């Protein structure tokens, strides 16, 4: 990919400057909203910050407003009613909505590995899924997608909810980590970005998952079927700018984090120096990028059909679906060629 080769050469040397944000200042940009199914901004939004700072969104004629929501169900409702144009949820709630006739369409995969393993203390007695028999698993919310991913992971050892293990709400942040460290729970089930934050505080974990669950992608770009049909060029441009930001973050982590802090100042850790805050967020950024690799031999954003089948199979196994549905109409790879069709000139910052 030509644009990626350009970033590979330039990424380590590029320094973000305020002047770059004036790209196309005279151009009237279309404002679109992208929803994230989380209570607060996290590092998964760093590529958006870079894409804005470097002028890549402006090149596409777009200005992106990132907003958070209380979970994927609310996100889906807002996309369907037109309150927001795009969302980046995991697939489960969308599959359920789709099975009931909701006209949704995923068009870009931003993570290709499941970001929802279980975390246990690295020096603790839990070594495998089977060791969790008779134990308590802590979730930040019993309405979160982890309610189901946890059942799938433990189901690999034929462990059943309320028969062989219990799930309890331990909240998020320090309370969740404390519950694990004090033995109130034997495993924690949230996402890898939260785990990385705990590791910044000195926690050490061992992660537990299964090969089947590892293949289930996490977050991706989604909109309504009607909006995508009417705004195909816009959607491709949106994902193209995000991809440029993503690749830049892989090549220049410190500049990526700097753009992230500039765009989302509330995300910066308080009570420590800017240098320490950057160091901490570089750790979390690395984790995010590790869970969002380019599928070997495929372009950025490509959806593996087999991964969607795995999603449906696990949803049936965990009673999220009464019966299997064909997910073929819920996603498309039709825009992937346009998304990855980038000129070398577009990869360089415009001043």
Report the C-alpha dihedral over residues 215, 3, 263, 222, rounded to 10 degrees. -40
- Looking at residue 26, its pLDDT comes to 52
- Asked whether the predicted pLDDT for residue 123 surpasses 70, the reply is yes
- Looking at residue 228, its pLDDT comes to 98
- Asked whether the predicted pLDDT for residue 205 surpasses 90, the reply is yes
- Asked whether the predicted pLDDT for residue 329 surpasses 50, the reply is yes
Tokens 């090549």 found at: 251
Give whole-number Cα distances, 251 to 20, 122, 278, 280, 300, in Å: 18, 30, 16, 17, 16
Q: What is the mean pLDDT of residues 3-30?
A: 50
Q: What is the mean pLDDT of residues 20-34?
A: 71
- Looking at residue 4, its pLDDT comes to 52
**pLDDT tens-digit series, residues 33-92:** 999 988 789 999 999 999 999 999 999 999 999 999 878 888 999 999 999 999 999 999
Tokens 């007695």 found at: 125
State what percent of residues in the chain have pLDDT above 90.
Answer: 69
User: Residue 256: which residues within 8 A CB-CB, separation 6 or more?
Assistant: 46, 47, 49, 50, 245, 248, 249, 285
DSSP per-residue letters across 95-158: HHHHHTT--EEEEEES-SS-S--EEEETTSS--SGGGGTT-EEEES-TTSTHHHHHHHHHHTTT
More confident residue, 218 or 262: 262
Band of the pLDDT at 348, cuts 50, 70, 90?
very low
Band of the pLDDT at 296, cuts 50, 70, 90?
confident
Mean of all residue pLDDT scores within the chain:
88
- Looking at residue 343, its pLDDT comes to 62
- Asked whether the predicted pLDDT for residue 29 surpasses 80, the reply is yes
| Per-residue tokens: 263 | 């765009």
Q: What is the mean pLDDT of residues 241-260?
A: 96
- Looking at residue 21, its pLDDT comes to 43
- Asked whether the predicted pLDDT for residue 135 surpasses 70, the reply is yes
Tokens 């995300």 found at: 267
- Looking at residue 16, its pLDDT comes to 41
Asked whether the beta carbons of 222 and 104 are under 8 A apart, the reply is yes
DSSP state of 25: T
- Asked whether the predicted pLDDT for residue 204 surpasses 80, the reply is yes
- Asked whether the predicted pLDDT for residue 237 surpasses 90, the reply is yes
Report the C-alpha dihedral over residues 203, 286, 219, 204, rounded to 10 degrees. -10
Which H or E run includes 32?
Answer: strand 30-36
**pLDDT tens-digit series, residues 275-295:** 999 999 999 999 999 988 888
| Per-residue tokens: 261 | 């802090």
- Looking at residue 24, its pLDDT comes to 45
From the list 290, 270, 289, the residue with the least C-alpha distance to 280 is 270
- Looking at residue 181, its pLDDT comes to 95
* End-to-end alpha carbon distance in the chain: 23
- Asked whether the predicted pLDDT for residue 32 surpasses 60, the reply is yes
Q: What is the mean pLDDT of residues 155-159?
A: 94
Per DSSP bridges, beta strands 205-208 and 118-121 are antiparallel
- Asked whether the predicted pLDDT for residue 231 surpasses 70, the reply is yes
DSSP per-residue letters across 249-285: HHH-HHHHHHHHHHH-GGGSPSSS-HHHHHHHHHHHH
Band of the pLDDT at 129, cuts 50, 70, 90?
very high
- Looking at residue 250, its pLDDT comes to 95
Which H or E run includes 337?
Answer: helix 336-339
In degrees and rounded to multiples of 5, residue 109 shows phi and psi of -90, 120
Asked whether the beta carbons of 39 and 253 are under 8 A apart, the reply is no
Q: Enumerate domains of the chain plus CATH numbers.
A: 2-113+217-347 (3.40.190.10), 118-214 (3.40.190.10)
């Amino acid at each position: 990919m030509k644009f990626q080769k350009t970033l590979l050469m330039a990424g380590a040397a590029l320094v973000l400057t305020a002047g770059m944000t004036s790209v196309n200042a005279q151009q009237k940009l279309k404002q679109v909203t992208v929803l994230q199914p989380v209570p607060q901004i996290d590092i998964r939004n760093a590529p958006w910050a870079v894409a804005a700072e470097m002028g890549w969104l402006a090149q596409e004629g777009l200005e992106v407003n990132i907003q958070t929501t209380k979970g994927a169900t609310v996100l889906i409702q807002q996309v369907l009613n037109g309150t927001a144009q795009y969302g980046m949820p995991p697939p489960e709630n969308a599959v359920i909505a789709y099975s009931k006739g909701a006209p949704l369409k995923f068009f870009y995969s931003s993570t290709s590995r499941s970001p929802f393993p279980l975390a246990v203390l690295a020096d603790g007695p839990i070594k495998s899924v089977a060791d969790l028999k008779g134990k308590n698993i802590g979730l930040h919310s019993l309405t979160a997608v982890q309610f189901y991913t946890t059942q799938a992971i433990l189901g690999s050892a034929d462990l059943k909810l309320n028969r062989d293990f219990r799930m309890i709400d331990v909240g998020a942040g320090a309370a969740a980590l404390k519950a694990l460290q004090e033995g109130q729970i034997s495993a924690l089930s949230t996402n890898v970005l939260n785990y990385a934050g705990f590791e910044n505080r000195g926690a050490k974990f061992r992660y537990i998952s299964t090969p089947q669950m590892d293949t289930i992608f996490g977050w991706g770009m989604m909109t309504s079927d009607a909006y995508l049909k009417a705004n195909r060029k816009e959607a491709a441009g949106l994902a193209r700018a995000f991809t440029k930001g993503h690749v830049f973050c892989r090549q220049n982590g410190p500049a990526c984090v700097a753009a992230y802090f500039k765009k989302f100042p509330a995300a910066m850790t308080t009570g420590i120096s800017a240098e320490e805050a950057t160091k901490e967020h570089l750790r979390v950024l690395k984790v995010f990028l590790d869970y969002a690799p380019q599928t070997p031999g495929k372009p950025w954003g490509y959806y593996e059909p087999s991964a969607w089948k795995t999603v449906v199979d696990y949803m049936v196994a965990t009673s999220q679906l009464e019966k299997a549905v064909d997910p073929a109409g819920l996603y498309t790879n039709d825009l992937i060629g346009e998304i990855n069709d980038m000129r070398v000139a577009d990869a360089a910052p415009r001043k």
